[in-house]
Amino acid sequence: MDKIFFDELELPKPKYNLKVGSGTHAEETGKALIGIEIVLEKEKPDIVLVEGDTNTVLAGALAASKLHIKVGHVEAGLRSYDRNMPEETNRVLTDHISDYLLVPTQKAKNIALKEGIDKRKIFVTGNTIVDAVYQNLRLAQKRKKNLLDKLNLKRKNFFLITAHREENIDIKEKLKNLFRAFELLFEQFSLPLIYPIHPRTKKMIKRFHLKVPKGLNLIDPLGYLEFLFLEANAKLVLTDSGGIQEEACILRVPCVTLRENTERPESLEVGSNILAGTNPEKILECTRKMLKKKRNWVNPFGDGRSGEKIIKLLNE
């Protein structure tokens, strides 16, 4: 799927492709670790930057650290405090072997300090996701302006859904609850619910013999620009993704998070987001509440110049 992003955003072709593919956490991390070590030994960089909380991030940080290459972790200091999430393990381990913790907010800095990380390693830079949203939204509005017509949607008159986490999708009762929630939302608001669905989620729906409720429109996975365009034009977003909680806040689109916790507490504090879990009635209640919100919150995640700040910092 990554080819979509490189093509759509006109990014330079990668010099290396490790071809790790999908697998268990051990398989993905192990293959990435082996491949990245080979590249680092060949290239001999001064520093390795890793962004986020994926298995690749942990593998990149580990490979660099073992080779005594400095590590910079972009989006450091985030915590959900839920070790059932594999991303949480990746975040914690990566932060503690990094030389530069490039945290998005003061709150994230405080978290790192409480874990005993040297304050001289921690730098508040904002998050590069803000840079990406600001830069690519203009591109999306230009290139994807016909997408609403294509999907027979009207601006600010549909709900956008993403749900992909193992703890929601791989457990029949939870996925069934989500479908019941989507059914209730359509009954209450009579607005289309657009759900770009991952092949794995489609497989679980089939395995659990679940019926797709009325009003829920399952569509093929979208490219980044297409999704960003839909997100900006949605009336409300329902998600279990951390990054989309942040994007929705930046775009001033109300967000209902289909989890019991979040590593983006700033979104809760400014009022752009609410935690609903997977209980159908709670999701309906939280949706009602968020739709009444004024979209005048202040984005706490940066000014869109985080990339510049990081480069300047590393060059000093």
Nearest to 171 by CA among 213, 208, 200, 209: 208
Q: 24-28, 153-157, 198-202: lowest mean pLDDT where?
A: 198-202
Cβ atoms of 256 and 290 closer than 8 Å: yes
58-75 pLDDT, tens digit each: 999 999 999 999 999 999
Residue bearing the bigger pLDDT, 4 or 278: 278
In a domain, 6, yes or no: yes
Parallel, antiparallel, or unpaired: how do β-strands 216-219 and 193-196 relate? parallel
pLDDT of residue 150: 96
Residue 121 confidence (pLDDT): 98
Q: Are residues 202 and 261 in the same domain?
A: yes
Higher-confidence residue of 271 and 165: namely 271
pLDDT above 60 (res 42): yes
Given the residues 25, 73, 164, 209, select the one marked as catalytic: 164
Residue 296 domain-assigned (yes or no)? no
Would you state the pLDDT for residue 127?
97
CATH code for the domain of 77 = 3.40.50.2000
Among 8-17, 115-124, 191-200, the least confident range: 8-17
Least-confidence region, from 27-36, 134-143, 238-247, 255-264: 134-143
The reply to whether 164 belongs to the active site is: yes
The tally of domains found in the chain comes to: 2
The reply to whether 20 and 150 lie within a common domain is no
- In the block, which residue shows the tokens 């999708």? 169
Specify whether 138 is located in the same domain as 48: no
User: Is 297 contained in some domain?
Assistant: no
Task: Please tell me whether residues 157 and 74 are part of one structural domain.
Answer: no
Does 155 lie in the same domain as 117? no
**pLDDT higher than threshold 80 for residue 2:** no
Compute the half-sphere exposure of residue 167: CA atoms within 13 Å on the CB side of its CA: 14
Q: pLDDT above 90 covers what percent of the chain?
A: 91
Q: Same structural domain for residues 145 and 273?
A: yes
**Average confidence (pLDDT) over 220-225:** 92
- On average, the pLDDT of the chain sits at 96
The residue ranking higher by pLDDT, 11 or 256, is 256
First-last CA distance in the chain: 36
Q: Which two tokens stand for residue 193?
A: 């619910």
Which residue segment(s) compose the domain that 24 sits in?
2-127+302-315
Using the CB atoms, write b or e for 286-310: b if 16+ within 10 Å. Answer: bbeebeebeeebebbbbebebbebb
Residues 227, 184, single domain; the answer is yes
**Arithmetic mean of pLDDT, 183-199:** 96
**Segment 68-103, tens digit of pLDDT:** 999 999 999 999 999 989 999 999 999 999 999 999
Same domain for 157 and 263, yes or no, is yes
> How many beta carbons lie within 10 A of that of residue 30, not counting itself?
15
Over residues 127-159, the pLDDT tens digits come to: 999 999 999 999 999 989 899 999 999 999 999
